[in-house]
Amino acid sequence: MSFEKLADILFPSIEKTPEYYLEKYPKRNLKEGAVVCRYAPSPTGFQHIGGVFAALINERVASQSEGVFFLRIEDTDQKREVKGAIVDTIETMKNFGMNFNEGATGEETEVGNYGPYRQSLRKEIYSTFAKDLVKKGLAYPCFCTAEELNATREKQMAEKVTPGYHGEYATCRNISAEDAIKRIENGESYIIRLKSPGNPENRVEFHDLIKGDTSFPENNQDIVIIKSDGLPTYHFAHAIDDALMRTTHVIRGEEWLSSLPIHVQLFDVLGFDRPNYAHIPTIMKNDNGSKRKLSKRKDAEAAVSYYKEVGYPTESVIEYLLNIINSSYEDWRSENPDADYHEFPVALDKMSKSGALFDIVKLNDVSKDVISKFKADKVYNDYTNWAKEFDKEMFELVTAKEDMSKEMFNIDKEGPKPRKDFAKWDEVKEKIFYFFDELFYNETEENIELPKTLSLEVAKEVIKTYAKEFNFNAGSQEAWFDDLKAIGLNLGYCANRKEYKANPENYKGMISDVAGAVRAALSHRANTPDLYTIMQIMGEEKVRERFEKFL
Stretch that binds ligand GLU, among 97-105, 141-149, 209-217, 251-259 (CB under 6 A): 251-259
Nearest distance from C-beta of residue 69 to ligand GLU, angstroms:
13
Contacts of 25 (CB under 8 A, 6+ apart): 113, 114, 244, 245, 246
DSSP class per residue in 467-496: HHH--TT--SHHHHHHHHHHHHHHHTEES-
**Residues 210 and 216: beta-carbon distance below 8 Å:** no
Residue of 499, 467, 497, 498 whose CA lies nearest to 483: 467
Terminal CA-CA length for the chain: 100
Shortest reach from residue 353's CB to ligand GLU, in Å: 19
Helices (H) and strands (E) in the chain, counts: 24, 16
List Cα–Cα distances, 515 to 437, 457, 509, in angstroms.
Answer: 21, 15, 11
For residues 45 and 82, is the Cβ–Cβ distance under 8 A?
yes
Output DSSP code: residue 407.
H
CB-CB contact of 191 with 226 (8 Å): yes
Contacting range for ligand GLU; rule: CB under 6 A; set: 3-11, 38-46, 81-89, 386-394: 38-46
Nearer to ligand GLU, 45 or 492 (CB): 45
Which positions ≥6 away from 19 have C-beta within 8 Å?
A: none
Q: Is 118 in the site for ligand GLU (CB under 6 A)?
A: no
Sign of the torsion formed by the C-alpha atoms of 133, 135, 136 and 140? positive
Of 252-260, 261-269, 282-290, 456-464: span binding ligand GLU (CB under 6 A): 252-260
Q: Does 304 bind ligand GLU (CB under 6 A)?
A: no
Q: Stretches 40-48, 163-171, 385-393, 442-450: which one binds ligand GLU (CB under 6 A)?
A: 40-48
* CB atoms closer than 10 angstroms to residue 83: 10
User: According to the binding rule CB under 6 A, does residue 40 interact with ligand GLU?
Assistant: yes
Q: Decide whether 7 or 40 has the Cβ nearer to ligand GLU.
A: 40
In the complex, minimum distance from the CB of residue 285 to ligand GLU, in angstroms, rounded to a whole number? 20
**Chain residues 428-467 in contact with ligand GLU, contact rule CB under 6 A:** none
Q: Which of 544, 527, 279 is nearest to 421 (CA)?
A: 527
Beta-sheet pairing, 102-104 with 110-111: antiparallel
Q: Residue 37 or 192: which CB sits closer to ligand GLU?
A: 37
The residue range among 37-45, 128-136, 303-311, 444-452 that interacts with ligand GLU, by the rule CB under 6 A, is 37-45
Least Å distance, CB 527 to ligand GLU, is 45
Q: Which of 48, 60, 235, 252 binds ligand GLU (CB under 6 A)?
A: 252
Smaller CB separation from ligand GLU, 48 or 131: 48
Least gap, CB of 240 to ligand GLU (angstroms):
12
The residue (of 305 and 328) whose beta carbon lies closer to ligand GLU is 305
Strand partners, 100: none
36 touches 249 (CB < 8 A): yes
Q: How far is CA 303 from CA 50, 285, 296, 307, in A?
A: 9, 14, 7, 8
Least Å distance, CB 363 to ligand GLU, is: 24
Binders of ligand GLU among residues 62 to 101 (CB under 6 A) are: 74
Stretch that binds ligand GLU, among 14-22, 248-256, 257-265, 344-352 (CB under 6 A): 248-256
Taking the mean position of all CA atoms in its chain, how far away is CA 103? 19
Smallest distance, ligand GLU to C-beta of residue 215, A: 22
Nearer to ligand GLU, 42 or 221 (CB): 42
The widest CA-to-CA distance across the chain, in whole angstroms, is 110
Q: Which is nearer to ligand GLU, 25 or 256 (CB)?
A: 256
Binding mask 228-247 for ligand GLU (x = CB under 6 A): ----------x---------
Q: Confirm or deny that 460 is annotated as ligand binding.
A: no
- Answer yes or no whether residue 42 interacts with ligand GLU by CB under 6 A: yes
Instruction: Identify the three-state secondary structure at position 222.
Output: coil
d(CA 407, CA 419): 14
Q: Using CB under 6 A, count the residues that bind ligand GLU.
A: 8
Which one, 48 or 368, has the nearer CB to ligand GLU? 48
Q: Of all helices (H) and strands (E), which one includes residue 543?
A: helix 540-550
Q: How far is the CB of 256 from ligand GLU (least distance, A)?
A: 6
Nearest CB to ligand GLU, comparing residues 40 and 194: 40
> Can you name the residues that pair with 285 across neighbouring β-strands?
292, 358
Secondary structure letter of residue 112 according to DSSP: S
Closest separation in Å from C-beta 360 to ligand GLU: 24
Residue with Cβ nearer ligand GLU (180 or 260): 260
Q: Are 247 and 317 in contact (CB under 8 A)?
A: no
Q: Which residue ranges make up the annotated binding site for ATP?
A: 296
Q: Which residue ranges make up the annotated binding site?
A: 296
- Which residues would be at the binding site for ligand GLU (CB under 6 A)? 40-42, 74, 238, 252-253, 256
